[in-house]
């Protein structure tokens, strides 16, 4: 569906001199291939947060250029501001957005960190998921002492930098390079403007939890009396009514009953396990969630303002549904929610799948429809506009000059006296229509009472058919483009032996491309025929003609794509490549014939004439 995308969010210690910031952002953009999404200048903090995305390779290069430029222009000896900071480029986190793992981002952090240390002479500390020790995971710990304390810190054997010099660099300070999950800033809207109500729900949701209370705690928890440690030597449990007589007993109970590590929990809360004093804390529903209530005058509403620090663990829709449940207990209505900034496309797609599944509707629908389901279910247009193009990263629609045409214009374009678009694009379109029909039949079957027990099976077919359809829709334009590298090779000069060889090599590669693209199309079409065969086993008789049409369109796509492979093959001299392709063609044709006979047999059995 989409390409690998990584996000980088450097924080530079300059928020007042626009000329310096412009040079830094220009350097990031000039590196090429990245898209700067936001430059957030903070005057009081004297700090600027830049957000940019791109392919891993481009982001890696652009991040280094940004740090190099900041190193030349920002003098930390003159820096004052309200936010904690340790260097000119204070933090440099890499965040997986699409088709990226955390390990990939850790790798980028290590490579960029090493370059900053070696080439720019700036000490680098790796933090968060890229940290070299547990102690360095927490950014606050890495940055403690700040720039002013860095000279001393570098003398401490425990705080030797991961890369770069161990000597003090007064101009640039140090840089914290890390990898972390995408942070989603998300607000949930209440139908009143009472901050206490929003807080009451926020505290029930967030990882930090809330002060344990007794007495008048229903429906509004905040109205109860706070429970403290140390009253009569008691150690009350936060989440339940159990009262231990020692911390050891409480710790064991918490581990057995609530599956948690109380020492780590108290560490987060700043409670001394050896001598716990002050209020007892009840656990929140979620981890990786920060939340607080506030009132936005502009909307005349209270909101639960949330930071989701790992949406793969605690997703926006899960948190929203729990907020709806908690609000319901209090007689409060959640009217909708609001996304601040951006979120990964995958997070909203997951929400769409969740709400479709919950309503026993098919999940195998076009991506745009899934996203719209999520937007409506979460009330994301309640207080502000929500356009997927502006709000999601990692979304790549199957666009192209050919697929953007109307059906009539496409058909006319094929008929003109130009060689492209030709058979390859038509083959891909034929397969795309075949998979669309297969998806349609699965989707129509979901919801019919006779198929209630096949919900998962049908959704699986519909989802896979959607995926195949999107691949083949992309193939319509890809096939026409595949021949471009052959044409580029043909146009190369051939005035010397060197040029002739270079041209020959370029054309060989071009023809390999022009062969591989239709071969991929044929393989994807075969997957569609397999789905049609599965669908022919379960669907009702009334839909058999659509199943059959889907299968034949996919077969037409497969066989036509193979014509396109075969016509280019004689131009290739690499014998191993040719033999491999010929073997794949034979297998594809044989499997396609078996599937066509199977589907056609099942269909014929249902027709009377």
* Closest approach of Zn ion to the CB of residue 241, in Å: 7
Q: Which of 26, 58, 83, 382 is catalytic?
A: 83
Which CB atom, from 222 or from 242, has the smaller least distance to Zn ion?
A: 242
Find where tokens 């077919």 sit: 461
Residue closer to Zn ion by CB (options 243, 589) is 243
CA angle 216-219-223, nearest 5°?
40
Nearer to Zn ion, 256 or 297 (CB): 256
Q: What DSSP letter does each residue of 247-313 carry, written as one string?
A: HHHHHHHHHHHH---HHHHHHHHT--TTS--SB-EEPPS-SSEEEEEEEETTTTEEEEEEEES-TTT
Nearer to Zn ion, 153 or 210 (CB): 210
Nearer residue to Zn ion within complex by CB, 237 or 476: 237
Residue with tokens 């948190």: 319
Burial pattern 350-359, b for ≥16 Cβ within 10 A else e, equals bbbbbbbeee
H/E/C letters for each residue in 544-594?
A: HHHHHHHHHHHHHHHHHHHHHHHHHHHHCCCHHHHHHHHHHHHHHHHHHHH
Q: CA angle at residue 13 from 10 to 14, to 5 degrees? A: 110
Q: Give the whole-angstrom CA distance, residue 263 versus residue 209.
A: 16
Q: CA torsion 198→204→210→216, rounded to 10°?
A: 80
Closer to Zn ion at the Cβ: 123 or 236?
A: 236
- Angle separating helix axes 345-358 and 367-378, nearest 10 degrees: 80
**Of 477, 479, 520, 533, catalytic:** 479
CA-atom Rg of the chain in angstroms: 30
Q: List the structure tokens of 406.
A: 């109307």
Determine the 3-state secondary structure of 22 from DSSP.
Answer: helix
Least distance in angstroms from the C-beta of 98 to Zn ion: 41
In the numeric block, which tokens belong to residue 604?
């014929």
CB of 238 to Zn ion, least distance (A): 7
Q: Are 176 and 90 contacting, i.e. CB atoms less than 8 angstroms apart?
A: yes
Where helices occur in 446-483 by DSSP H, the ranges are: 455-482
Q: Which residues bind Zn ion (CB under 5 A)?
A: 237, 240, 242, 257
- Residue 244 Cβ vs Zn ion, minimum distance, rounded to whole Å: 9
| Number of residues written out for the chain | 609
Q: Which H/E stretch holds residue 355?
A: helix 345-358
DSSP 8-state class, residue 337: E
Q: Shortest approach of Zn ion to residue 209 CB, angstroms?
A: 13
In the complex, the smallest distance separating the C-beta of residue 280 from Zn ion, rounded to whole angstroms, is 11
**Shortest distance, position 245 Cβ to Zn ion, whole Å:** 14
Short-list 238, 247, 245, 185, CA closest to 214? 238
If the CB atoms of residues 235 and 410 are measured against Zn ion, the closer one turns out to be 235
Contact of 285 with 205, CB cutoff 8 Å:
yes
Least separation, in Å, of the C-beta of 264 and Zn ion?
16
Active site residue 479: yes
Could you tell me the smallest distance in angstroms from the CB atom of residue 251 to Zn ion? 11
Q: Which is nearer to Zn ion, 257 or 580 (CB)?
A: 257
The catalytic residue positions are 83, 479
């Amino acid at each position: 569906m989409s390409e690998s995308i990584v996000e980088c969010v450097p924080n530079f210690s300059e928020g007042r001199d626009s000329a310096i910031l412009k040079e830094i952002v220009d350097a990031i953009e000039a590196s090429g291939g990245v898209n700067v999404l936001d430059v957030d200048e903070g005057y009081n903090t004297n700090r600027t947060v830049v957000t940019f995305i791109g392919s891993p390779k481009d982001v890696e290069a652009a991040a280094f250029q940004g740090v190099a430029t900041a190193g030349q222009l920002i003098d930390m000896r003159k820096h004052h501001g309200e936010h904690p900071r340790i260097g000119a480029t204070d933090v440099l986190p890499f965040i997986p957005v699409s088709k990226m793992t955390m390990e990939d981002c850790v790798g980028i952090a290590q490579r960029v960190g090493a370059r900053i240390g070696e080439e720019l002479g700036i000490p680098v500390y790796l933090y968060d998921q890229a940290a070299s020790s547990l102690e360095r995971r927490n950014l606050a710990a890495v940055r403690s002492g700040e720039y002013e304390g860095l000279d001393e810190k570098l003398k401490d054997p425990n705080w030797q930098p991961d890369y770069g010099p161990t000597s003090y660099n007064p101009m640039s300070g140090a840089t914290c390079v890390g990898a972390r999950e995408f942070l989603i800033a998300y607000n949930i809207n209440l139908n009143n403007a009472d901050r206490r109500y929003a807080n009451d729900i926020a505290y029930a949701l967030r990882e930090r939890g809330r002060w344990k209370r007794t007495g008048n705690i229903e429906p509004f928890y905040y109205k109860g009396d706070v429970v403290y440690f140390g009253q009569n030597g008691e150690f009350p449990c936060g989440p339940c009514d159990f009262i231990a007589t020692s911390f050891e007993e409480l710790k064991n109970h918490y581990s057995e009953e609530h599956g948690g590590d109380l020492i780590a929990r108290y560490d987060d809360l700043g409670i001394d396990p050896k001598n716990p004093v002050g209020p007892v804390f009840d656990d929140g529903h979620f981890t990786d969630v920060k939340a607080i209530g506030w009132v936005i005058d502009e909307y005349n509403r209270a909101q639960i303002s949330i930071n989701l620090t790992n949406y793969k663990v605690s997703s926006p829709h899960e948190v929203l549904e729990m907020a709806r449940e908690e609000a319901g207990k209090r007689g409060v209505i959640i009217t909708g929610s609001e996304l601040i900034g951006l979120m990964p496309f995958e997070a909203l797609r997951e929400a769409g799948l969740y709400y479709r599944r919950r309503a026993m509707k098919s999940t195998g629908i076009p991506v745009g429809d899934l996203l719209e389901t999520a937007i409506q279910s979460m009330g994301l247009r309640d207080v502000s506009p929500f356009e997927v193009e502006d709000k999601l990263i990692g979304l790549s629609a199957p666009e192209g000059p050919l697929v953007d045409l109307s059906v009539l214009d496409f058909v006319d374009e094929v008929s003109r006296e130009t060689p492209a678009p030709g058979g390859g694009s038509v083959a891909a379109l034929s397969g795309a229509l075949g998979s669309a029909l297969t998806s349609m039949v699965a989707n129509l079957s979901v919801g019919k009472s006779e198929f209630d027990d096949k919900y998962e099976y049908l959704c699986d077919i519909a989802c896979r058919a959607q995926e195949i359809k999107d691949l083949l829709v992309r193939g319509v334009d890809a096939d026409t483009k595949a021949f471009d590298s052959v044409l580029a090779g043909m146009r190369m000069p051939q005035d010397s032996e060197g040029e002739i060889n270079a041209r020959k090599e370029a054309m060989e590669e071009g023809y390999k491309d022009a062969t591989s693209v239709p071969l991929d199309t044929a393989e994807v079409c075969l997957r569609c025929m397999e789905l049609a065969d599965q669908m022919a086993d379960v669907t009702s008789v009334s839909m058999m003609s659509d199943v059959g049409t889907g299968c034949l369109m996919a077969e037409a796509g497969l066989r036509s794509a193979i014509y396109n492979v075969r016509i280019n093959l004689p131009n290739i001299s690499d014998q191993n490549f040719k033999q491999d392709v010929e073997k794949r063609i034979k297998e594809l044709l044989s499997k396609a014939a078996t599937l066509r006979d199977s589907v056609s047999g099942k269909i014929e059995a249902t027709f009377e004439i």
